[in-house]
Amino acid sequence: MLRQLIVNADDFGLSAGVNRGIIEAHERGIVTSASLMVRGVAAQAAAEYANARTGLGVGLHLDLAEWIYRDNAWSPLYEVVDLADRVAVESEVRKQLDAFIGLMGRSPSHVDSHQHMHRDEPLRSIAQRLTSELNVPLRHFSAVQYCGHFYGQTAKGEPALEAISADALLELLRRLPPGITELACHPGYADDIETAYCAERACEIQALCDPRVQCLVVEQRIDFIDFSVALR
């Protein structure tokens, strides 16, 4: 049965280093799509790159907060708005959508969020209404199957580099189910950002660009697409 794969890089626009890593994983590796953080310092550069190319799909990566595990508990590294304030959350979501359209000149191919904040209310229903209006997929809530196993940290933020090795990626591809799957990734060079996910990003680039991965894709007859193709 047909297996189609969207390899989506989160955090596009977060920094120049992250942009550089995503671009490398797209041009030399298997990344077919990216999610743009419009609040990122390098969002303009990311949009300019994407608009100059036809092979990279771009969606909206809603950025409302980031949490980090320290002192045996999760605590916010930053919060853009009060996540319990529905009015403030919806206002920020609309603001970020407008910024995306301003940068890209079009609507996003899909929507997701930083650290999956949209799985919880009030962002969940706000994001669902937004993607219904746009007629685009929302991560976790569409026919596109989501795979988040290619991630280099545990639930407590501890390094798990074995999960983002080339061998781990090869195994994920071998077990890819029929239908359309989104494989999330976070390639980048993180020497210019403060974030909970740093050194792992460069390890992801190595795996995504590993020649063995390219060979396996051909052997397994996996069809690489982006979200715009998934909607047809």
Q: Which residues are catalytic?
A: 10
Buried b (16+ CB within 10 A) or exposed e, 56-70: bbbbbbbbbbbbbee
Cis-peptide, bond into residue 122, ω within 30° of zero: yes
Q: Given phi > 0 = left and psi -120 to 50 = alpha, else beta, which region is 9?
A: beta
Which of 38, 41, 23, 36 lies closest to 189, judged by CA?
A: 23
Cβ-based burial of 174 (10 A; exposed 0-12, middle 13-18, buried ≥19) = exposed
Instruction: Locate 114 and state its tokens.
Output: 């930083």
Contact 58, 34 (CB under 8 A): yes
Report d(CA 81, CA 47) in Å as an integer: 24
Distances in whole angstroms, Cα of residue 46 to Cα of each of 18, 43, 131, 136: 10, 5, 22, 21
Contact 163, 149 (CB under 8 A): yes
Instruction: Locate 93 and state its tokens.
Output: 């979501």
